Structure 1
Amino acid sequence: MYDVAFLGRLENGLRTALPGWGLPGDTKLRLLTISENATFLVEPPGDAPIVFRVHRPAYHTEEEILSELAWIGALRADDAVATPRPLPTTDGRLLGSFGEGTDRRHVAAFEFMSGQEPAASADSVPWFRQLGAISARLHGHTRAWQRPGSFRRKTWDFDAMLGSRPLWGDWRAGLGLTPEGRVLLERTADVLAGRLAAYGHGPDRFGLIHADLRLANLLVEGDRLGIIDFDDCGFSWFMYDFAAAVSFFEDDPAIPALQAAWIEGYRSVAPVSAEDLAMMPVFLMLRRVLLTAWIASHAETPTAQEMGVPYTEGTVAMAERFLTEHA
């Protein structure tokens, strides 16, 4: 899917949308990343660069995207987090679009935020302490914020992740998953389902979260930790935000130190109960199996191609340890 011709079509489509933001169609641009969506850096001459996000079709509805942007606007208004401002079109809309084959792709624009992503190592302990505090502020904001009546975002519960309506595909299709591995992950999924059901969905532990605070969505500059890409925000368990922050390296030896720092930072803003702490391994395992499904269902993406079969094999090994220690 992500071959040169396809990316060329996306670029050409975006160029047809640029005049909506008052930019010529031949403005300099380049692809930044591609995953669920494609993001482009657009560089108007003599002006600040702008990040344009071209949405994958059939993932989020227009209402869902506008709800994401509404939450970002509210977070910025309340100074809850450092995150780029969504930029409206010249006629005040937050979304543009263009046709690509039989699909209609939504386009959103954001201020450019400079910075580098933190390292996937114990060197990032100070940043995870700050991220824990930021996460607590995000969660506090969602408890207090009066959402618009039109607000719609997906719910990331067990059924949406690993159960009967998986939004990112069936983990059983994991790349290279053996019959023995499937049996082990079936047992793991059953344990996860039971633990999550017992933990529950009370308002003190389940609500609107970022849901994808992985390193690629964190930007460090000086002492500032910026947060980008709320595209997967939705309703889920608050403590799940830590598991998302260590995406793709959930079994790294640095995880205990990063988790301790995140919890310390979180507690500087809001309490973390003993029940919350006991669920951290559950959320780590849940995220790992979910990403195993995502890699299988998004095998054409650069991230999935980089992770591949070894990631599935690591998931099985992690599940075996999880069952030994936490089942």
Structure 2
Amino acid sequence: MGRVDMEQEVRAAVERAISAYVADTYGLTGSVSTVVKGANWTFVVRDGAQDRAFIRLYRAWGRPAADVASEMAMLRAVESTPALEVSRPLIDHEERSFSAFQLPDGTKRLLGVFAPAAGRELAATPADWYRAGVALSHLHRQTGLTKLAPNRELLSGTRDKETLAMIAERSPNVAKDISKSLDVLVGAGANEPIGPTGLCHGDVRPMNMRVQDERVTFFDFDDCGRGPQWLDVAAMALWLETITSGDVGALWKAFLAGYGVDVSDSFVRFVGRMVAAHQLRILRFLFDYCELDAALWADVLNRAEMVVSRAAQGRLRAFAT
């Protein structure tokens, strides 16, 4: 049996086991299939064409049970508004928001089941980006959620140094260039935190939102924690760097208008620093949980160096128009 055939067989066996488990513990029936098999393994439960639930097998390390319990408690406490909803955890027959699931190979992973996010994908239109900004502001303003969030700071100077050391092992030149760009940002005062602090989603991007009428539903809070909330704002600016066409400036302005922040020189500098910080967070996740070949690593690191350089020079596409 070839490698691909073995992987397909393993995947099918896990999907069958998941199907039986959620039917027994949640009363969820329907077809179970893989959506994304990465560090976290995500499945969907479908009844015909209707999505009934999404299942997350948490990564094998890096998310202790206490972290997951905090994430679930926070999600259950979010107050819905006309602009905001979140994908909430479902509760099983034993009143648990998550549990330990044993895979067919005998290993155990934490498992959570979430309600589907209603609506369509976020479109690259000012109207949708305005809605996203409003929804994010409604999430950030619920200050009581901060104490429920996983007890981890999303930004850490020590962790950044560790990540730079990991980069240097693969590309000393890239690590050196990123360090220089970070020094430029710090020298410009961008390291001075401004804006609100509290709960951060941790991975705000269009793929983690759904839009229905005027309401945006956020999901995938796997990276949530505490920190400067403009890190979430900057995550959208980082995503805009990947757009190859369209009016990036108009999308960014609409998003900021929805969020309700005035653009100032200090805001631009700080968002640039947060873009660089979020880029380092993404790289650290790849180092810790993903296997990439040498060519792909070279491409990822070179792109990251380019983004951080643009942030340091104030040339992010979001601010260019």
Residue 155 of structure 1: aligned partner: 153
Cα 1:160–1:192 shift into 2, 3 Å: farther
For the aligned residue pairs, the C-alpha RMSD in angstroms reads: 3.6
Amino acid at match of 2:129: F
Sequence identity of aligned pairs in percent?
20
- TM-score for the superposition, normalised by structure 1: 0.78
The 2-side partners of 1:80 and 1:99 are apart by 38
Candidates 94, 97, 104, aligned match of 1:94: 97
**What is the deviation of 1:98?**
1.4
**What is the deviation of 1:210?**
0.8
The 2-side partners of 1:324 and 1:95 are apart by 44
Q: Assess if the C-alpha contact under 8 Å between 1:23 and 1:44 holds in 2.
A: no
After superposition, give the CA deviation of every residue in 1:9-68 in whole Å (9 maximum; x if it has no partner). Answer: 5424423521111246xx411111233311111135798611111111212121211211
Give the number of equivalent residue pairs. 307
Residue 82 of structure 1: SS of its match in structure 2?
A: strand
The 1-side partners of 2:313 and 2:50 are apart by 56
Q: How does 1:55-70 map to 2 (within 5 A)?
A: 55-70=58-73
Find out whether 1:213 has 2:204 as its counterpart.
Answer: yes
Residue 130 of structure 1: aligned partner: 131
Q: Assess if the C-alpha contact under 8 Å between 2:117 and 2:218 holds in 1.
A: no
Deviates more, 1:190-199 or 1:99-108: 190-199
Amino acid at match of 2:27: G
Amino acid at match of 1:112: P
Residue 257 of structure 1: SS of its match in structure 2?
A: helix
Q: How does 1:118-197 map to 2 (within 5 A)?
A: 118-119=122-123, 123-141=124-142, 143-145=143-145, 147=147, 152-159=150-157, 162-164=160-162, 170-174=163-167, 178-191=171-184
Find out whether 1:107 has 2:111 as its counterpart.
Answer: yes
The 2-side partners of 1:251 and 1:79 are apart by 30
Candidates 310, 315, 319, aligned match of 1:321: 310
The 2-side partners of 1:306 and 1:118 are apart by 31
Residue 56 of structure 1: SS of its match in structure 2?
A: coil
Amino acid at match of 1:263: L
**What is the deviation of 1:288?**
2.3
The 1-side partners of 2:187 and 2:114 are apart by 40
Cα 1:115–1:46 shift into 2, 3 Å: closer
The 1-side partners of 2:128 and 2:296 are apart by 25
The 1-side partners of 2:241 and 2:17 are apart by 37
- TM-score for the superposition, normalised by structure 2: 0.79
The 2-side partners of 1:80 and 1:272 are apart by 23
Amino acid at match of 2:112: A
Amino acid at match of 1:153: N
**What is the deviation of 1:321?**
3.4
Q: Which runs of 5+ in 1 are unaligned?
A: 165-169
After superposition, give the CA deviation of every residue in 1:70-107 in whole Å (9 maximum; x if it has no partner). Answer: 11111146777212232100121111221234642111
Amino acid at match of 1:124: T
**What is the deviation of 1:125?**
2.4
The 2-side partners of 1:322 and 1:247 are apart by 9
